[in-house]
Amino acid sequence: MYKTKISVKALILKQNQVLAIKQVRKKGVYYSLPGGKQKRCESLIETLVRECKEELGTEIFIDDLWALNDSTSEKEKADKLKRKHALEFVFRCEVPESYQIHNGPSPDKGQVSVEWIDIDTLRGVPFYPNWIKQALKERHFQRKIYHGLNPAYLFLLRENRIL
């Protein structure tokens, strides 16, 4: 048996830029969307609001669900097969007009800054996860995205039968 890790992210766009968190970790510098893991008994919206207050230091206006990443992985560890399942929800959001970029009061460990990144320059930017970077580079802002491995689900999504 394994637990599903649930996280939520905010896609915040302004003109041709995306708001991103710059992080420095052991593996180096990378960028990601603001957001984080869901706490027990917390709704997705509550998680997103809390994470953005902590990381960005501002309230956000939540629009709609933009993307869902449904991923699984398996690793063999100490002669046991360890399985992981993760669901990552990405909502389109806005920050107030008056928002000036800065770290929030409780940034994640390794968070060094908040930055607007020009979408045209994403090719050379270490952005995690890669599927979001690809979707942004390909300008998939208006359509909903399911990133997973189930072809039947993808067919239904393309036919607008779900979401």
Q: What is the pLDDT of residues 60-96, one digit of tens each?
A: 999 999 999 888 777 777 777 777 888 999 999 999 9
What pLDDT band is residue 162 in, cutting at 50, 70 and 90?
very low
**Phi and psi at residue 137, in whole multiples of 5°?**
-60, -35
β 28-32/145-147 pair status? unpaired
Distance between CA atoms of residues 116 and 108, nearest Å: 18
Residue 53: CATH number of its domain: 3.90.79.10
Residue 163 inside a domain? The answer is no
Structure tokens at 30: 């990378």
Residue 122 inside a domain? The answer is yes
Angle at 153 between CA 7 and CA 69, to 5 degrees: 20
Number of domains comprising the chain: 1
Q: Does residue 15 carry a pLDDT above 50?
A: yes
- Do 68 and 145 meet the contact criterion of CB atoms below 8 Å apart? yes
Residue 24 inside a domain? The answer is yes
Give the residue numbers spanning the domain of 77: 4-158
Residue 121 inside a domain? The answer is yes
